[in-house]
Structure 1
């Protein structure tokens, strides 16, 4: 039902379709980049403000469930398709879509050529991104609990989003959260780090979007005991089963066999502040990733975009992804990758491989979206 709401939601919810297409992209002159960790599902919703343990906020790639060591072109093209669908939802003309793709690759190449070093002036935040960023800076733990848990009381309300756990599941969580690794995961104040322990206050199954369907997904509310300076310290931990990625990997790439360890390793390479907040573990014989949810973690909500704002957003998000890739490359690799990206013939100021791929993918997903809606309409009527 969520994927039937709009074509952009359908694109976000069907990464397998994109990756299947990309896996046969050798015949489409898609450039082959260096072996680095890629996001694997690099759409607009997976980039946004992200906090760290020191309360520093930056805009980063913030969801790496599909991360693999693969071709960086995959992330570039996935983001280009996502932006093209966003332009469609805003009723922007095709000429603007071409300019969006042009600005995306421009921002990406600027970041790769520059490296991960950013003094804050290399890519200025567009107005809508600046708005979301300032909102993230203002958010507090109270905001997080009211948004995620519906109130600020130290419980997880059962209902549409949170479901009761079995006794076996509760016991497994208690055992896991008694370990030293989990204690270190939760941000502890220096003055009590040596003596404090993490106590589970409440836990529930988290029905959170398509990613929780058929998989283990839990929310755990924990308290630091004893509390620092007499103030109650609560944290919300997201436990998510790590599934097999659908993004194509380089055949000879060496990655952890555990999907949870793969996700944490990829996060540490792509977005170090995110990787530092994650832990790979086993729970009820499932490979899971634990992640502390911070108030500053947000998705951008762009709404309807103007032509000018859409171009600026594309350039900025391209820069963010380019920075995530560049931090994994040496100088010689970055130079070679920029040359490879610029080697292909251009249509307007967009490499032909990128533009023709976006056109082909847009048509493919539009057709699949309409068929998805037809099937959903028939099922709901039946």
Structure 2
């Protein structure tokens, strides 16, 4: 068994490969791929009628572009030297991919909440993705450069101090670690400011399948049906509905035995195609309505296409042949407590999917409404949560030794993040120009 001293030596050896101060640099290489071309390649196997919605959402702002351009940033990070200290990455750890949700025990937790791109890779790639999102959000909210830099430093410091604390703990203690949302308000709400996160927690508690029943369904000819709200929510065609019924046995087999029994108590009522997110627009996603003891006992499942992770082009192959299995395994590893209906399946044409509850007391913060103090505190919270996730799968002792007690890494990543915010502005402008020139179609405001 590797000793603690050997783990520490491994982390310090990584400083020779990539000095902590070396993370400050971002200079786009002369052969950097065109960001619009990267996005177009991603869209080749997506539903073409939905791509204008994706581009329309991404042109809305630099932050919206960053959300949808995870593949662009992955290629940029892959072109830089990396530490070799690997963890299970979220793969898309921007600010809006953190939020609150209910554990199976009904506690409200704060954690990562999107795992479509999860893959094993260098820990700093997630940290830099998060840091860049803080810098872009700060700029978009009108914060001066020095406040943006400070917010990013605090975000990275939150990660560094948390991973160093976790490095001192035992394996089971780290595994049981969680960020309880009930204790978050003192961390993120400065004195004499509105209860910003408090309102988010209140909204999250209301986001349940029962609430979705009233919002997303209607009674037609005496039967409960998902509403028709094109192009964002459309009834599944007869072929799609039949396929969803068929693949449920595949999905069911990936659930633990007790969850299979629970799922068997529901019956299939209706299905619809749903448009979700920004970067995911164009992938196949379905909303499935199941009913238990009558119409007032609903369960909404989201069945979402799982594709090759954006990081797979830049890193060694992973252990999962099925993309849905990759997503589910990554989520189970990274989240402190997972959705009880998380499972994977294979659909028509061999396409991979994964399933989870659509709404189970989930909510995200309103980043666009954050002043400098709130963004700083929220970024630090996200950094802390990211460290908890990484500590479950990577060598936390080596990472802690690499980061050290000084703020060298924090400042370097903050410098990188502000430079990458400039890059995001330029890439966002390039997409806007491509839309104006008719190279890509866009449907703004959808």
Q: What is the Cα deviation at residue 175 of structure 1?
A: 2.0
Q: Secondary structure at the match of 2:331?
A: helix
Residue in structure 2 matched with residue 126 of structure 1 by the alignment: 188
Q: What is the Cα deviation at residue 124 of structure 1?
A: 4.7
Partners of 1:312 and 1:369 in 2: CA distance: 27
Identify the match of residue 434 of structure 2 among 359, 367, 375: 375
Higher helix share: 2
Contact preservation (8 Å) 2:115, 2:327: yes
Q: Secondary structure at the match of 1:203?
A: strand
Q: Secondary structure at the match of 2:133?
A: helix
Partners of 2:392 and 2:430 in 1: CA distance: 40
**Distance change (3 Å), C-alpha of 1:376 and 1:24:** same
Are 1:237 and 2:301 an aligned pair? Answer: yes
Are 1:289 and 2:344 an aligned pair? Answer: no
Residue in structure 1 matched with residue 366 of structure 2 by the alignment: 301
Are 1:46 and 2:114 an aligned pair? Answer: no
Partners of 1:182 and 1:146 in 2: CA distance: 30
Q: Secondary structure at the match of 1:299?
A: coil
Q: What is the Cα deviation at residue 182 of structure 1?
A: 6.5
Per-residue CA shift, 1:118-151, capped at 9, x if unaligned?
A: 585699541333331233134443333344x166
Contact preservation (8 Å) 1:201, 1:222: yes
Per-residue CA shift, 1:199-245, capped at 9, x if unaligned?
A: 11001111224455443211110112xx2xx7842111101110111
Gapped regions of structure 1 (runs ≥ 5): none
Contact preservation (8 Å) 2:111, 2:336: no
Contact preservation (8 Å) 2:205, 2:362: no
Partners of 1:176 and 1:195 in 2: CA distance: 14
Q: Secondary structure at the match of 2:365?
A: coil
Residue in structure 1 matched with residue 410 of structure 2 by the alignment: 350
Identify the match of residue 317 of structure 1 among 362, 372, 382: 382
Per-residue CA shift, 1:237-275, capped at 9, x if unaligned?
A: 101110111125884564201111110110011114236
Q: Secondary structure at the match of 1:274?
A: coil
Identify the match of residue 244 of structure 2 among 165, 173, 177: 173
**Distance change (3 Å), C-alpha of 1:221 and 1:308:** same
Residue in structure 2 matched with residue 6 of structure 1 by the alignment: 61
When normalised by structure 1's length, the TM-score is 0.85
Q: Secondary structure at the match of 1:273?
A: coil
Partners of 2:251 and 2:310 in 1: CA distance: 32
Contact preservation (8 Å) 2:159, 2:384: yes
Residue in structure 1 matched with residue 80 of structure 2 by the alignment: 25
Gapped regions of structure 2 (runs ≥ 5): 1-55, 167-173, 190-195
Are 1:260 and 2:324 an aligned pair? Answer: yes
Partners of 1:341 and 1:123 in 2: CA distance: 28
Contact preservation (8 Å) 1:111, 1:326: no
Written as runs of structure 1 = structure 2, the 5 A alignment for 1:75-224 is 75-115=126-166, 116=174, 117=177, 124-127=186-189, 128-147=196-215, 149=216, 154-160=224-230, 161-178=232-249, 181=252, 193=261, 196-211=264-279, 213-224=281-292
Partners of 2:388 and 2:351 in 1: CA distance: 33
When normalised by structure 2's length, the TM-score is 0.73
Written as runs of structure 1 = structure 2, the 5 A alignment for 1:244-255 is 244-247=308-311, 251-252=315-316, 254-255=318-319
Structure number with higher relative contact order (C-alpha < 8 Å, ≥ 6 residues apart): 2
**Distance change (3 Å), C-alpha of 1:319 and 1:213:** closer
Contact preservation (8 Å) 1:49, 1:57: yes
Partners of 1:16 and 1:194 in 2: CA distance: 37
Per-residue CA shift, 1:65-112, capped at 9, x if unaligned?
A: 000011111111000000111101110000011111111111112221
**Distance change (3 Å), C-alpha of 1:175 and 1:322:** same
Partners of 2:218 and 2:188 in 1: CA distance: 33
Contact preservation (8 Å) 1:36, 1:325: yes
The alignment of Structure 1 onto Structure 2 pairs a total of residues equal to 363
Contact preservation (8 Å) 1:105, 1:318: yes
Residue in structure 1 matched with residue 391 of structure 2 by the alignment: 326
Partners of 2:436 and 2:262 in 1: CA distance: 58
Partners of 1:122 and 1:197 in 2: CA distance: 36
**Distance change (3 Å), C-alpha of 1:320 and 1:119:** closer
Please tell me the root mean square deviation across aligned C-alpha atoms, in Å. 3.1
**Distance change (3 Å), C-alpha of 1:182 and 1:222:** farther
